[in-house]
Amino acid sequence: MGIISPTERLLACADPSEPVETGLLTVDLSALVANWRKLASLAGAAECGAVVKADGYGLGLAAVLRALAGAGCRSFFVANLVEGETARALAPDATIYVLDGVAPGCAPRLAAARLRPAIGSIAELEEWAAAGATLGRKLEAAIHFDTGMNRLGFAPEDADAIALRAQAIMPTLVMSHFVSAQLLDSPINDRQIEGFLAVRAHFPGIPASLANSSGVFLPQRPHFDLVRPGYGLYGGNPTPGAENPMRPVARLCARMISVRDLAAGETVGYDGIWTAPGASRVATIGVGYADGLPVSTTGAQGKPAGEAIVGGVRCPFVGRVSMDYVVLDVTDAPKEAARRGEWVELLGETIEVEELAVRAGTIGYEVLTRLGRRFARRYVEP
């Protein structure tokens, strides 16, 4: 028998279930599916689609799309052509809408992938119609109207003329986008619904869509024929100010790679912006802003900081969030939990995405979509 080296002994004793990465993102696909089913039930007779742009809101397009399609979702929305082509390869039979519309020169590839652009300008409409003429058939598309966002879409007052010109293609959806659906009493909601109803009248027999995640919960029930939730699917709260009706989908943990004791007056991190007020114990975890953790969760005296759950105790970030590391004040955490190699929770059931976003001075959408690729990723199947 040969001599076993220290490295070989270490590898032999390592738990194969433990990731070598110092960050672990767990995506609960069963919670994702439950959220979709809840939104579908609230939408009544309307079809419930899913917005899966930005790599499934940062959680992984392939896994997200597979789970939702398996649950019965048939209509998906992506941002651009490349996302659409990726989604098409994953879901050959799905209906896939591209919210960017027809980017210049992209019509042939959109058509080849059987994607449906959300057309919101005459130039796009003409390019799409020309591509169809070349192929000898009318191409399918959504017709996008701007009812208040002032971002993309035709003007509602042009609906009659657009309906006429759209005869050169095959409209399969008429759509618009809410500005403030998360605010139940915002007067613009009623104005947008009224404007969209007027637009829809010019497209008889064509399905209509207005509601995002928050729109599903509006008392006016503007569900029309298709709702297209995004943020709520991934555990974000579509009803700010009220209890979150959605289940958390993402859980982010990080591993402690160093623990040390500080004396009163010692500082932590770049520029020494946090000073230990007394004898303290701190732990360094192996994630940072390169992994998408907002640098604005930096811990300094007089400002809200990010937090992690260590042995059931909330432990604040101290010092600057750096590229690869965050330091926690674990003075009050159980000693058995605050040890090198132990895991802490940064996002999950205790610290939901909205709380992390508030502490970072941003929104939950940004938190989710910036989750880094260095994390080990595990998916809990539905």
Band (8; pLDDT cuts 50, 70, 90):
very low
Is the pLDDT assigned to residue 13 strictly greater than 90?
no
**What integer best gives the mean pLDDT of the chain?**
93
What mean pLDDT is predicted for residues 246-269?
Answer: 96
Band (382; pLDDT cuts 50, 70, 90):
confident
Is the pLDDT assigned to residue 4 strictly greater than 60?
no
Which amino acid is present at 156? P
Is the pLDDT assigned to residue 364 strictly greater than 50?
yes
Is the pLDDT assigned to residue 142 strictly greater than 90?
yes
What mean pLDDT is predicted for residues 113-132?
Answer: 98
DSSP collapsed to 3 states, the chain? CCCCCHHHHHHHHCCCCCCCCCEEEEEEHHHHHHHHHHHHHHCCCCEECEECHHHHHCCCHHHHHHHHHHHCCCEEEECCHHHHHHHHHHCCCCEEEECCCCCCCCHHHHHHCCCEEEECCHHHHHHHHHHHHHHCCCCEEEEEECCCCCCCCECHHHHHHHHHHHHHCEEEEEECCCCCCCCCCCHHHHHHHHHHHHHHCCCCCCCEECCCHHHHCCCCCCCCCEECCCHHHHCCCCCCCCCCCCCCCEEEEEEEEEEEEECCCCEECHHHCEECCCCEEEEEECCCHHHCCCHHHCECCCCCCCEEEECCEEEEEEECCCCCCEEEECCCCCCCCCCCCCEEEEECCCCCHHHHHHHHCCCHHHHHHCCCCCCEEEEECC
What mean pLDDT is predicted for residues 29-38?
Answer: 98
Return the pLDDT at 1: 31
Is the pLDDT assigned to residue 270 strictly greater than 90?
yes
Is the pLDDT assigned to residue 3 strictly greater than 80?
no
Return the pLDDT at 17: 67
Of all residues in the chain, the percent with pLDDT exceeding 90 is: 91
Domains in the chain: ranges and CATH: 43-234 (3.20.20.10), 250-380 (2.40.37.10)
Render pLDDT for 195-216 as a digit per residue (tens, 0 to 9). Answer: 999 999 999 999 999 999 999 9
List the catalytic residues. 53, 270
What mean pLDDT is predicted for residues 320-346?
Answer: 96
- What's the predicted TM-score (pTM) here? 0.92
Render pLDDT for 349-360 as a digit per residue (tens, 0 to 9). Answer: 899 999 999 999
